[in-house]
Amino acid sequence: MTGRRSSLATIDAALGAGTSLPRDNGELVFEEPWQGRALGMGVVVLDRLGVPWADFQRHLVAAIASRTPEESESAATAYYAAWLDALEALLAERRLVDARGAEIEGE
Amino acid sequence: MTDGHDHHHPRPASAVELRARALEALLAERELVSTDAIDAVVELYENDVGPQNGAKVVAHAWVDDAYRGRLLSNPNEAIAELGFGGAEGDNMVVVANTPIVHNMIVCTLCSCYPWPVLGLPPTWYKSPPYRARAVSEPRAVLREFGLELGDEVQIRVWDSSAEVRYLVLPMRPAGTDGWSEQELAAIVTRDCMIGTALPVAGQPVGA
C-alpha cells in the first residue's frame, strides 16, 4: 500500500460533529468486529483512491438521513450500517464497485 | 481466505455483518483493499481505540483500595463507575495477580475479548496456536512473550466466552510510589491485562 494512512484526527475533523464516529468517553466504540472492519475498509479505500473525506462525509450524511434504524439496533450498529451504505454509494458514484448489484466492469 | 475474520462465538451473523463481509470480499476482489491493509488500519487505530479504558480501570484500582474491592467483587458496576462498559462487556470478571498467582486470558473457541475495556484484540490472540497452547502449555507461551515466571507462581488460564469476559488486574510494580493515576495508567499495556506481560516501572510517561 502506498500513501499515508489517514489519522483518526483527520477523519474526526472531516466528519464533524453530526456524523462523528461513535465514541464513549472519547474512545471509539466497536461493539462487534465487523464495525471495526467497516471503518478499516473505508479508510483503506479512501486512502487508496485519494478520495477526500469530505466526499465520504456527504454520503454518510445522506445515508444516515435515509436510513430507518431498526428498533433493537444499537447506535453503533446503526452508525456503521450507514457507514457501509455511504461507502457503497461512494463506490457506485465513482463507478468502481456496485455492491448492490453486479460489479461495474472497468472504465 | 476470510479465515480469521469469522472469529466470533457461534451465533448467527447479523444481516449487516454479512453485508460488511460481502463488501470486503468484493473490494478485495477488485484489489481496492486487502485483508492485511484493513488489519493494519485496525491495528493502527487499536492504540487509539484500545486498552486505555482498561488501563484506567487498573490504575484506579491500584490507588484506591475500596475501588479495587468493588472491581473484584462487582466488576460490571465498578467498570461502569468509570464510564466504560456496554455491549460484550456486560459479564466481566476481573482476576487479580498475586505474588503466587499469575492470570492469563484466552478464548479457546474463537476470540471473545473484553472490547469495552481493551479495544480490539491483537492478531495473535485470535491465532489457533495461542488459543490452544495458552491452555496446554501456558508457561512456555509466556516465556515466548518474554515473561519468565518463577516456579512458585501458579498460572491460571481463564477461557473467555460469549457470556464471560476476563480482565487481568496486574500487580502494581515496585518503584511507582508517588506516581499519579495517569502515570500509572500509561504503563498498563494491553498485554498486561491479557496476562502475557507485566507492567514495568520505567520513567513515568505522560503528564
Q: Is the pLDDT of residue B164 over 60?
A: yes
Percent residues over pLDDT 90 in chain B = 60
Burial profile B71-102: b = 16 or more Cβ within 10 angstroms, e = fewer: beeebeebbbeeebbeebbeebebbebeeeeb
Whether the CB of A36 is below 8 Å from some CB of chain B: the reply is yes
Q: Is the pLDDT of residue B44 over 90?
A: no
Whether the CB of B19 is below 8 Å from some CB of chain A: the reply is yes
Q: Which of B110, B127, B161, B180 is catalytic?
A: B110
| C-alpha to C-alpha distance for B65 and B45, rounded to whole angstroms | 32
Residue in chain B closest to A5 (alpha carbons) equals: B41
Pick from B189, B187, B130: nearest CA to B160: B130
Range A28-52 average pLDDT? 90
pLDDT at A103: 47
Task: Determine, for residues B8 and A33 on separate chains, whether the beta-carbon distance falls below 8 Å.
Answer: yes
Q: Which of the four pLDDT bands, split at 50, 70 and 90, describes residue B8?
A: low
pLDDT at B1: 44
Burial profile B135-168: b = 16 or more Cβ within 10 angstroms, e = fewer: eeebeebbeebebeeeeeeebebbebeeeebbbb
Q: Which of the four pLDDT bands, split at 50, 70 and 90, describes residue B51?
A: confident
Q: Is the pLDDT of residue A57 over 50?
A: yes
Task: Determine, for residues B29 and A103 on separate chains, whether the beta-carbon distance falls below 8 Å.
Answer: yes
Whether the CB of B100 is below 8 Å from some CB of chain A: the reply is no
Question: Is residue B111 annotated as part of the catalytic site, yes or no?
Answer: yes
Range A16-22 average pLDDT? 80
> ipTM for the complex?
0.87
Q: Is the pLDDT of residue B48 over 60?
A: no
- Beta strand spans in chain B (E): 92-96, 101-106, 154-159, 165-169
Which pLDDT tens digit goes with each residue over B62-115?
A: 999 999 999 999 999 998 888 776 444 468 899 999 999 999 999 998 878 887
Q: Is the pLDDT of residue B59 over 60?
A: yes
- Tell me which of A59-63, B86-90, B126-130 is least confident: B86-90
**Residue B5 one-letter amino acid:** H
For testing the chain A interface, which of B32, B36, B53, B84 should be mutated: the one with the most A CBs within 10 Å?
Answer: B32
pLDDT at A97: 75
Q: Is the pLDDT of residue A26 over 80?
A: no
pLDDT at B150: 94
Q: Is the pLDDT of residue A30 over 70?
A: yes
Pick from B193, B168, B113: nearest CA to A33: B113
Whether the CB of A75 is below 8 Å from some CB of chain B: the reply is no
Q: Which of B14, B73, B107, B160 is catalytic?
A: B107
Pick from B153, B149, B154, B105: nearest CA to B131: B105
Range B17-46 average pLDDT? 87
Top pLDDT among B39 and B186 is at B186
Determine how many CB atoms are found less than 10 A away from the CB of residue A17: 6
pLDDT at B204: 55
Q: Average per-residue pLDDT in chain B?
A: 86
